[in-house]
């Protein structure tokens, strides 16, 4: 149950049912004050289903289980807001302080792994790729990988394409990076293979029964889990962060969104530097 209005019929549409459905798939908790968003965000899906109204959709779903349709509804309700070098400070801190230390620590393995969890349309992952290429030429010949994971299939398709509109490029991307790392065609800019080849994207649910990285060797040096936990409830955040803790290297770095905090501070050491806060694993004593 996500709030106290489940089952309540509001203006002919059972929004409680839709909120519950979204929670069941993505664990996103939608506030009833934002029920109006269903109308706009599901309009294309309704059209594709040959429907015109939300109450038709609810009736249809109640009549027979349609997992694919439910999944599409949950995905359509995600907020995919992102930009290149969003909230610059974590990237500045990585460049100036954290990556030089990690690089020193990985000299023998020459491997660095990054995870952009909830990567949306890919700008966060590509920002990391450009940062590495631009400021750390000594990493040439290292095994570098940047994994991007998001629940929204459409966002992942866009991330994989690496093609952005002029408006998206104009948000936060230094001109030098635009010229160096993108090819230009009309209103669109496509990330060049050099940065593209470092990034791998796939659709996965951070809160599903199977965690996206659960093989024995899955280990990351830097994890960006930013601006997604605000959509989750406390228990979901706790469970997710315990799993993230397990796949972060002992000297690895976790960044959350600037307004987000770990639920269980006993698991993490927080450090404030350069106006950004990062977290490291606190090991059980
Ligand atoms: C606001 S965007 C944040 C993007 C990026 N991390 C940033 O800070 O710019 C939130 C993203 O979280 C994704 N998301 C929401 N619930 C998710 C879940 N359960 N599993 C994976 N991704 C999820 C959404 O699809 C959306 O793309």
For the beta carbon of residue 69, count every other beta carbon within 10 angstroms.
17
Q: What's the mean pLDDT when you consider all of the chain?
A: 94
Q: Which of 120, 126, 224 to mutate to test the pocket of ligand 1 (most atoms within 8 A of CB)?
A: 120
- Which of 98, 38, 64 shows the shortest CA–CA distance to 271? 98
- Identify whether the C-beta of residue 212 lies closer than 8 Å to the C-beta of residue 102: no
For residue range 149-194, list pLDDT tens digits in order. Answer: 999 999 999 999 999 999 999 998 999 999 999 999 899 999 999 9
- Return the residue matching tokens 């049912």: 17
What domains are there in the chain, each with its CATH number? 15-76 (no CATH), 89-281 (3.40.50.150)
Q: Which of 118, 155, 203, 212 to mutate to test the pocket of ligand 1 (most atoms within 8 A of CB)?
A: 118
- Return the residue matching tokens 């690089």: 103
pLDDT at 11: 60
For residue range 240-255, list pLDDT tens digits in order. Answer: 999 999 999 999 999 9
**pLDDT at residue 284 above 80?**
no
Is the CB of residue 158 below 6 angstroms from any atom belonging to ligand 1?
no
| CA 268 – CA 281 distance, rounded (Å) | 5
How big is the CA angle at 181 (ends 176 and 185), to the nearest 5 degrees?
A: 100
Give the closest residue (by CA) to ligand 1 atom 13.
118
pLDDT at 3: 44
Q: What's the rounded mean pLDDT across residues 220-247? A: 97
Give the closest residue (by CA) to ligand 1 atom 27.
120
| CA 243 – CA 256 distance, rounded (Å) | 15
Is the CB of residue 79 below 6 angstroms from any atom belonging to ligand 1?
yes
- Identify whether the C-beta of residue 94 lies closer than 8 Å to the C-beta of residue 131: yes
| 3-class DSSP assignment, residue 38 | helix
DSSP 13: B
- Identify whether the C-beta of residue 103 lies closer than 8 Å to the C-beta of residue 136: yes
| CA 241 – CA 282 distance, rounded (Å) | 13
């Amino acid at each position: 149950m996500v709030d106290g209005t489940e089952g309540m019929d509001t203006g002919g549409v059972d929004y409680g049912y839709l909120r519950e459905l979204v929670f069941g798939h993505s664990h996103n908790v939608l506030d009833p004050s934002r029920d109006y968003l269903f109308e706009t965000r599901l309009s294309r899906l309704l059209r594709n289903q040959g429907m015109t109204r939300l109450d038709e959709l609810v009736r249809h779903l109640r009549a027979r289980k349609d997992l694919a349709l439910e999944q599409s509804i949950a995905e359509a309700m995600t907020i995919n807001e992102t930009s290149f070098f969003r909230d610059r400070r974590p990237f500045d801190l990585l460049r100036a302080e954290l990556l030089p230390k990690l690089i020193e620590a990985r000299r023998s393995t020459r491997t660095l792994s990054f995870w952009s969890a909830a990567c949306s349309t890919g700008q966060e992952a590509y920002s990391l790729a450009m940062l590495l290429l631009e400021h750390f030429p000594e990493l040439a010949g290292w095994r570098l990988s940047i994994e991007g994971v998001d629940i929204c299939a459409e966002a992942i398709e866009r991330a994989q394409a690496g093609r952005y509109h002029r408006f998206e490029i104009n948000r936060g991307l230094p001109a030098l990076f635009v010229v160096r790392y993108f090819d230009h065609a009309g209103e669109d800019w496509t990330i060049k293979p050099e940065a593209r080849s470092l990034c791998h994207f796939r659709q996965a649910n951070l809160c599903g029964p199977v965690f996206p990285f659960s093989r024995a060797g899955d280990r990351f040096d830097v994890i960006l889990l930013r601006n997604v936990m605000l959509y989750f409830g406390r228990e979901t955040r706790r469970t997710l962060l315990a799993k993230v803790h397990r796949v972060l290297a002992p000297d690895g770095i976790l960044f959350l969104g600037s307004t987000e905090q770990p639920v269980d501070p006993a698991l993490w050491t927080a450090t404030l530097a350069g106006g950004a806060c990062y977290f490291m694993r606190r090991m059980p004593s």
